Amino acid sequence: MDRLFQAMHMDWLIGLMRDEGLAYGDSLAQEMLPGGSDAVWQGLVERIYDAEKMEQAVRAGFDTAFGDADPARLIAFFESDAGAALVLAELETSAAFADPSVEEAAREIWREADPTDARQQLITEYVEVNDLLEYNVAGAMNANYQFFTGLVEGGAIEMSEDDILRDVWEQEAETREDTREWLFGFLTMAYADLPEATIAAYVELSRSDAGRALNRGLFAGFDRMYGDQSLSLGLAVASRMAAGEEL
């Protein structure tokens, strides 16, 4: 597992997610806290998005969901030149997406793309084989649920569990459409310069037992991480809103 995570540059990905989380924490404070962000809030957000804790959460969820699958084929792919190029393309695109204008440009490129184009068909196949849209929508909705739960447990709002579920599900269609655009925009930009043979090989790998275990493990790990972070953010916001005291 260590060798697989190293080949996939998981530490780099976690670092990008941490930066994204810090930026989100700042925008959340501007939206929900009367005084906005301050040094105390920033310190709390930095603890929530601690890179070591993030990696531990991902690894714990991943190891459980991956089970006893054989990672040899995965390691061989990601350590190959083709696999390394694919990982690098995804990471560089993730970093670029920190700029909202880049993300919007990628979405627009996908909207205007020819769905019958061979590369677009491979991307669509990759999404369908891995059930990426459903996994991402479920992850986003679970994170929203955990955030509301944190607000309730922290005393900021009064909602029953049914109320929270109803509110989250009311956003499902909007979440799904936004996720679809983000997902296909991201992959269209990331895989734009990769040989089609590399994408096809990745699709084939995804169909294998090892590929399914990888997909299952990654989403289990990241869902666990995002769930913990969302709950913590909800509790933190509630504490500041309800008491008006520094944490």
Per-residue pLDDT tens for 38-74? Answer: 888 999 999 999 999 999 999 999 999 999 999 999 9
The predicted structure's pLDDT at residue 76: 97
Q: Distance (Å, rounded) from C-alpha 8 to C-alpha 70?
A: 16
pTM of the full predicted structure? 0.92
Residue range 134-152: mean pLDDT, rounded: 96
Q: Is the predicted pLDDT of residue 247 greater than 80, yes or no?
A: no
Token pair belonging to 13:
């990905």
Q: Distance (Å, rounded) from C-alpha 59 to C-alpha 222?
A: 9
The predicted structure's pLDDT at residue 120: 97
The predicted structure's pLDDT at residue 246: 43
Q: Distance (Å, rounded) from C-alpha 123 to C-alpha 125?
A: 5
Q: Distance (Å, rounded) from C-alpha 167 to C-alpha 134?
A: 19
In the chain, the number of structural domains is: 1
Average confidence score pLDDT of the chain: 94
The helix-helix angle for 209-243 and 10-32 (nearest 10°) equals 30
The predicted structure's pLDDT at residue 34: 82
Token pair belonging to 199:
């994408």
Q: Are 80 and 7 in contact (CB under 8 A)?
A: no
| CA 64 to each of CA 68, 69, 105, 221, 224: distance values in angstroms, whole numbers, following the listed order | 9, 11, 37, 9, 11
In which domain, by residue range, is 134 found?
2-243
Q: Is the predicted pLDDT of residue 243 greater than 60, yes or no?
A: no
Task: Count Cα atoms within 13 angstroms, Cβ side, for 121.
Answer: 5
- Given phi > 0 = left and psi -120 to 50 = alpha, else beta, which region is 221? alpha
The predicted structure's pLDDT at residue 128: 97
Q: Distance (Å, rounded) from C-alpha 36 to C-alpha 28?
A: 8
